[in-house]
Structure 1
Amino acid sequence: MARPKSRRGGRVTPKGTRGRTSQRAVTGRHRPVPDDRTTRELAMLVADIEHCIDTHDDDDLIATETAVSCTIGMHLTSDWNPFGVRAPAVLAHAETIGSAAGGVIAAGMSVYGPSASRQRAQQVLDRLGADGASVPPWATSLGAAEAVGAVKLCDEWDEYAAVVVDFARPDGSVHEVCASLHPFGWGIAHDLAVTPAGQSAPRLQEAGLVAETIALDAAQELLARGLEHLDEAIADWWDNDLDLDADIDLRMLVGQRVEALPSAERTCEGDAIDDEDVAERLADVVGGFVDLPFPLGEHKEDLAGLVVAATMFSQACRDPDVLRWTPPRIETFIERFLPLWDADDDLSGYDPFAEFGEPGDGFEFSGERLATIDSAFPRWLRYVAERRGDGPETLEQNLAAAKASLRRLRVKITGSPIPLAAPRIQWA
């Protein structure tokens, strides 16, 4: 769904719709007069919902749910949409127009709207039905689905992963919700899909992921956390170039399905992550490495910068364990994160979806700095492997990945695969 970068006063409709300006007169009880922007937004919401009603296919409720939920999401204020209309104003307008569109808006809000407004939305829907509004029968089927199973698909290192949850409708049909979890972007949920059952797993298995059955509450935890990070990315989307259109279309529908999953019970206060504990552990890991003897020829300032970058990168991973390194993680760190990382900006400029580009000025790759990285990063891998207790096979895989990625980085920066003379070991 192509949209303008800013929706302030703009036009937004779900993919495949043709919005029409509603000419319906607004009557009813006295209500606060909305401002011009809110009036336009509500008119567009009604027009878009009317189009959903006109194009509804009785045989494709997934498409209908997608259109209705997307339309509501794009016109409703939320954590990721700062330019919508607040829920009370949406429901007041739905009740005022007293039409099929008003009923569908109320029905959609009772399912996809903020939890605090859903009971009120159901009341509006019931009142409109009692008053004779021709609400389509399918409106009451929105959101009617029960989770019946979940699988997690992941690579051999449990870095690249996706979650697929099957949902059964009252009519016996089954569909699935699928989301990939970005391994090096905070576990952000992306590539959202809602399709008939059985479509996602074969595609993901062809990509090398292996499926394992997981509990529904485990799926809920992974997806809920991923959607939180997606919301943060979408909130930034209005003013940047992130390609999240397809995920925005499905955000409300997938969110509703995830909310319907059982949540894992938290019985221990220790389950919460203490930021001070994390900072203390990171300081211990970094300090332990930097205090070790290092080869003559390495620059301690460059060494410290490398290790700080490694710890910052680990905090952007789905699994933020600073001691855990895998071949995919090493490749991403060396070839995508490190060349663009700026210590002054921390992670503010890091885009997990960006392709490998030209090295930036943040790390300022000189020949000496690159030589320090060539020498120090394998030592870092040996250090964290020892502290974590990794076996020799894991270490060898990581060292091989580092060698290959450092070679590609060197070619990217210097045009030559030949490194500078390796620093000589100086243990004194």
Structure 2
Amino acid sequence: MSSGIWELALDHIGNGVVVIDERETIRLISKRAKTLFRIDDRSIGIGHTLGNFLDCVGRSVGWSAERVATVHSNHRAWKSASEAKDIVHHYDDGTVLRIGYHPKVGDGAVLTFDDVTDRTRLDGLLQNRAVKADLFHAEVHSTVGEIARATRETRERHADVSSSAYETLDRIAELNFAAEQSVNVMHDAAHANQGIQRVFGDVVTGLALVSSETSLALAGAQLGSQTCQRLAAHAQSAGTILDLIHGLAEQSRLLSLNARIEAARAGDAGRGFGAVAQAVKELADQTVQAARRTEAEISEIRHAIAEAVEANRQIETSIGGISRVADTVRLTTRGQQAQVEAISAAIDRTATVAQIMRDNVGKVDERFGTLIETLVDTSTRLAQIDHQVETLVDGAEHFRQAHIAEDGEKRARP
């Protein structure tokens, strides 16, 4: 066998090495090769064949005879084709071997067995950790992106809410001012309405007095008219008596007596007539001389009585009209007084509602003040969240880079 085959074997002497010649006879087998497959020295050694070695390997790893034959056939095919092979094989017990087949034309072949179980596991762990680190980084970026979007949307909504809150606060201030003015106006209106009620009460009372007085005046006018009518009748009688005065002095005295009686019945209105009657009495003895003068005076009295009757009739008519107007005004005023009282009650209710509205607006104003403070605090917290998100992104990137560097160092270790 050439030196090249032995140099190749020496290069892998730290691993399991089997050297076979062209007839597949084992010329060298390292102890490591036997240890890897738990083969004792009596089972295999120099002078045995490749088939013997593969049978031992098959028994060690649990291959069937058919599987062993297939592996042996593969080795012969590689040899015939002078094809080098480097195969990583995973055994059922978890062992991982890197198997190399290095044929040399006309000079046999070298089989190398390198136990890469720990390295494979390490590579798997490192790869799995790298995948998890990438996944963690991706999830952190995704989560951070979602948080950033949510924070941005929240900030935008917060800005809208803050703007609306400030506008609403201004409107509430205006409403509070309007409510305060409304309360003051309602109080002023209630005070003015109380004055109007007092005026209407006085008017109704005055109209009642006017109605009572006009009733009395109407009754007096009616009584005066009746008195004047009686005086006219008496004057008519006195005219008739004057025709008899000349010869009936005694009767004149009697007429004078009657006249005084009638004057007494007429009261104040009959005083003038009483004076005339007294004069008739005094002049009864001078009947003849005074008859003509008395007749003229009686004519004047008749005329005055007629005028008095007409005046009393007009007064009676006027007083009746005044009484009817007073009654109408009184009734109308009572209706208006009832309306004013209803308005007063409505004003009182409105004033109460205005006070309640003012108090409620004040409470809303306080709560909106608290809301504004909360929005300001929320804005500050959103800024803190943004900073923390940036810190989280930087930390995730540093974590990923640290894992990449650590994995590189571990892979670089022999």
Give the TM-score range, shorter chain: under 0.3
**Which structure dedicates a bigger proportion of its chain to helix?**
2
TM-score, reference length from structure 1:
0.15
Question: Which structure has the higher relative contact order (CA within 8 Å, separation 6+)?
Answer: 2
Larger Rg belongs to? 2
TM-score, reference length from structure 2:
0.16
